Chains A and B, each alone.
Chain A
Amino acid sequence: MINFDNSATSFPKPASVARAVSEAVSRFGGNPGRGGHRISGEAAQKVFEVRSQAAEMFGAQVENVAFTQNCTYALNMAIKGIMQSGGHIIISDYEHNAVARPVYALWKMRGVRFSVAKVSDDDDETAANFRELIEKDTKAVVCTLASNVTGRILPYKKIAALCKEHNICFIGDGAQACGVLDVTLADGLDILCTAGHKALYGPTGTGLLISNGRFELSTIIEGGTGTASAQLEQTGTMPERLESGTLGTVGIIGLGEGLRFVRRKTPKAIYAHEMRLCEQFAQLLAQNKRVKIYEPDVRRVPVVAFNIGDMYSEKAAQMLSQKGFALRGGLQCAALAHRTLGTLQQGVVRFSPSVFNEKAQVSALARAIYTMKE
């Protein structure tokens, strides 16, 4: 099967990631930060090395890099950590449920008010739309850096500048951007949340919450951190404050090799390769009159969202699966974005290549689509 569903999780992984995971299981089995013995110390050292790599890549201090289970956990920790005492929050109309649902839950359970900013084709207009929604008690703005449905890149640097001007915490969802764009905190992000298992090529079960330290986060999970154990109060020291319980050392060590892989190839080169495949795919689809591509002309990360006639996208994805191609149909967990696109009923089929895909695979997929009948 050829995988074009890398926006969900990249597969295959680099061989170096698989080797690192295997080595982690067999050699680094200690509980990092929990003991004074060599086994614990070696695991802690490996975790620190990965933390340092992530800090270098995203322009953070090492202590402000927290490991999470995935991007959704990171976003929940960031959003609820800032909004725990109430207030107002702004999100974009392209958000994934990883943002929309925690915000909705805060509204329902804690009375947090929220506004949804419209994203326009004009970046200045988009920033202005966010500006108009700022209220006296707006505490946070959350926005995806790139849509997981169409790949559209949001003007996050402009939105970040706006947040800085108003001393509002800017939380970026980098799940689709990190690894293909050169994202760093220097772009103006206060908190960057991302997945480790997508374009950073780590194993599933890995994510990152990276902060610039400007805003202290309340915790949504408390427990053992290996420090200050005599106190009932959760430690205030980052990153342990956000890392209660035993870390997923095996996944983290694998993520370290994923980060090394991406940094060696560079996000710019990976982006260029994957965009070439997207352009090839879009050109081939353009010859098929039944196919509609969504937002083909926006600045985007390597994703192509399309539909085949009126065929329900899940059905199309299922038919493609039977032909040996893995693509994602439906709503991609982003109902808000689909409402914006007008595709709530049909959904879209999402093509998302990885660095391992090749042109011949894309041609084969386009041929398969051409022969599909409702």
Chain B
Amino acid sequence: MKKTLIAMTSITYAMKAKKLLGSLGFYCEIEKTPKNTGSGCGYSIRVKSHPAVITARLDEYGIPYKNVIQTE
């Protein structure tokens, strides 16, 4: 089953995103970004909702992220 990750720019922003999304009722967990996406180690948030819905929320609250990753 595919899972959706959103790669974040830092652990602090990953945690800020988790706190925000949790308060808005979205599922969100933090995990290491599974493979090198060009800039080395980092953290992602794993979400169950459609990524566009989540990234819209992150944009709305000014939380930066790198990209959306669909992975097994």
Query: What is A's interface to B at a CB cutoff of 8 Å?
Result: 32-33, 35-36, 41, 44-45, 48, 51-52, 62-63, 225-231, 235, 237-240
* Residues on the A chain within 8 Å of B13, using CB: 63, 237
Q: A227-B40, A239-B12 are in contact. List 11 more A-B contacts (CB 8 A).
A: A33-B11, A35-B32, A48-B16, A63-B10, A63-B12, A225-B10, A227-B9, A230-B36, A230-B38, A231-B39, A231-B40
A52 to B20, CA, bound (A): 12
Least Cβ–Cβ distance between A268 and chain B, in angstroms: 28
| Contact status of A36 and B31, CB under 8 A, knowing A63-B16, A226-B41, A228-B40 | yes
Q: Which residue of A lies closest to B12 (CB)?
A: A63
B30 touches which of A41, A51, A227, A230 (Cβ 8 Å): A41
* Residues on the B chain within 8 Å of A227, using CB: 9-11, 39-43
In the complex, whether B15 has a CB less than 8 A from a CB of chain A is yes
Count of chain B residues with Cβ under 8 Å from any Cβ of A? Answer: 19
- Some 25 contacts from A to B, beta carbons below 8 A apart, are A32-B11, A33-B10, A36-B43, A44-B11, A44-B15, A48-B15, A48-B16, A62-B12, A63-B12, A225-B10, A226-B11, A227-B9, A227-B40, A227-B42, A228-B39, A228-B40, A228-B42, A229-B40, A230-B36, A230-B40, A231-B40, A237-B9, A237-B13, A238-B12, A240-B11
- Provide the B5-34 mask, 1 if CB < 8 A to any CB of A, else 0: 000011111011001000000000011100
Least Cβ–Cβ distance between A66 and chain B, in angstroms: 10
* Residues on the B chain within 8 Å of A51, using CB: 12
* Residues on the B chain within 8 Å of A238, using CB: 12
A32 to B32, CA, bound (A): 12
* Residues on the A chain within 8 Å of B19, using CB: 52
* Residues on the A chain within 8 Å of B16, using CB: 48, 62-63
* Residues on the B chain within 8 Å of A33, using CB: 10-12, 43
| Contact status of A36 and B32, CB under 8 A, knowing A62-B16, A230-B39 | yes
Least Cβ–Cβ distance between B38 and chain A, in angstroms: 7
A52 to B31, CA, bound (A): 20
A239 to B9, CA, bound (A): 11
A62 to B12, CA, bound (A): 8
* Residues on the A chain within 8 Å of B38, using CB: 230
Q: Which residue of B lies closest to A41 (CB)?
A: B30
* Residues on the B chain within 8 Å of A228, using CB: 9, 39-40, 42
* Residues on the B chain within 8 Å of A41, using CB: 30
